[in-house]
Amino acid sequence: MSNVLHPVVTEFERLLNSDEILMADFYADRCGPCRMLAPIIEEIADEYDGKVTVVKIDVDGDGRELAYKFGISSIPTVIFFKDGSEYTREIGYMPKEHYTAILEDMQ
């Protein structure tokens, strides 16, 4: 079972305002680097279950409004949120260790 959530806008707002760290992957199925990143996102969601909420936002689907709100102009873009505010964002494919290092710094 996957620990990655696929929230709609109202669910995302609720998650953003929770106490947990939020890692949001803005992606599209048409995007090659996004497909390469997908298994890494799944692994991180499993490894950080209970410590980090991991979500995927489809910029071509239900997540179009969120993509616009957060100024997503290139995918994949992964945004890390802490205490309801953006902590950092990474644009393009990065290795797993890059993302986990950010999460460790945020703990």
Catalytic residue set: 31, 34
27 is written with which tokens? Answer: 């992606």
HEC profile of 52-107: EEEEEEECCCCCHHHHHHCCCCCCCEEEEEECCEEEEEEECCCCHHHHHHHHHHHC
